[in-house]
Amino acid sequence: MLADNLLSPVILAFVLGVVAALVRSDLRLPESLFKGLSIYLLLAIGLKGGVELSRTPLEVFAGPAALTLGLGLVTPLSAYAVLRRLGRFDRVNAAAIAAHYGSVSAVTFIVAVAFATGAGTAPEGYLPALVAILEVPAIAVALMIAFTREKRAGSWQDSLHEVLTGRSIVLLVGGLLIGWAVGPDRFEPAKPFFVGGFQGALVLFLLEMGIVAAGRLRDLRTVGPFLIGFGIVMPIVHGLASVWLAGFTGLSPAGAAVLGAMVSSASYIAAPAAVRIALPEANPTYYLTSSLGITFPFNVTLGIPLYYAFATWLAA
């Protein structure tokens, strides 16, 4: 199963990006293409999720949605506690990193869906709605930790505005609403573009992700062994706990595995922008290197197969 994951074009494109950066190739996707691809991917998962949501009864969706919201509120707290107690981080840096680990990486989600589908069991189609639920609360909770008790240089109101109006939330929520409103039949004409081209776009996107992730690798020495360990162990703990809890909400094993991957993942689009505005004192090297240089590569290569294996083992 692990070999199946590692031998997908998506993962190998990521590896190619890492290798290209390590050998100092001049390969980089043009910024506008990369941004365009991220818009396409986010809108596509929003639309597909919305269409599926339109034919999902509320009582099926309510359990997983409530669990996701709960996990979004709890995971920044657990990450913060570990960073403070075991990692001896100061409040600001701990809160900044916790915001990233509570929030979600949409690309990790997409790779997890692709993996589960490739393994033969498609997860529930409405899962993108859960990504939207998971993205914002964690950032708000982490910023609240940082802003209670002390006055700060940044502004959390500005920062929340940044998250809520950022392109990932606008596209995801907007796509969900459009998909939900039009339903399966009227989505049909747009489907070849958004569904057929999706995997190819993902391959291109992951190529650039590899280059960006490899760029953070030289900072590994600066962040130290604790944060490297944190970037691997924290996702495993969050991921496995979520998979286990998801079983009680009626999610299929594949759906539980994808939820595990979502909760374990660390945001690197919405959270860094929000944290830079709200907590400018926090060191970006810590949160970007751990989320982008450690957790993302770990999750897409080893983490997702692990959550999937755990979910199928629980179900058996």
Partner 1 sequence: MHTTTLKLVTIVTERILEDRLLRLITAKGAKGYTLTQATGKGSRGVRASEWEGPDTRIETLVGPDVADAIVAEIAGKYFEHYAVIVFVQDAEVVRGEKYL
- Contact residues for partner 1, defined by CB under 8 A: 31, 35, 153-154, 212, 215, 268-269, 272-273, 275-277, 280-281, 283-285, 288
* CB nearer partner 1, residue 56 or residue 285: 285
* CB nearer partner 1, residue 27 or residue 77: 27
* CB nearer partner 1, residue 259 or residue 282: 282
Cα Rg, the chain, nearest whole Å: 18
* Minimum distance from residue 167 beta carbon to partner 1 (Å): 10
* Minimum distance from residue 225 beta carbon to partner 1 (Å): 20
* Rounded CA separation 266/230 (Å): 12
* Minimum distance from residue 219 beta carbon to partner 1 (Å): 8
Distances (CA, A) of 86 to 57, 81, 146: 43, 8, 18
Going by the DSSP 8-state scheme, the letter that residue 56 receives in this structure is S
The two most distant CA atoms of the chain are separated, in Å, by: 54
* CB nearer partner 1, residue 10 or residue 277: 277
Residue 89, Cβ neighbours under 10 Å: how many? 23
* CB nearer partner 1, residue 47 or residue 277: 277
* CB nearer partner 1, residue 183 or residue 284: 284
**9 token code pair:** 């074009």
* Burial of residue 248, with CB atoms counted within 10 A of its CB: 0-12 exposed, 13-18 middle, 19 or more buried: exposed
* Rounded CA separation 155/178 (Å): 32
Do 168 and 131 touch, CB atoms closer than 8 A?
A: no
* Rounded CA separation 280/261 (Å): 29
* Minimum distance from residue 276 beta carbon to partner 1 (Å): 4
* Minimum distance from residue 273 beta carbon to partner 1 (Å): 6
* CB nearer partner 1, residue 182 or residue 217: 217
Distances (CA, A) of 13 to 4, 6, 110, 116, 232: 14, 10, 15, 19, 22
* Minimum distance from residue 158 beta carbon to partner 1 (Å): 8
CA triple 260-97-101, angle to 5 deg? 10
* Minimum distance from residue 307 beta carbon to partner 1 (Å): 26
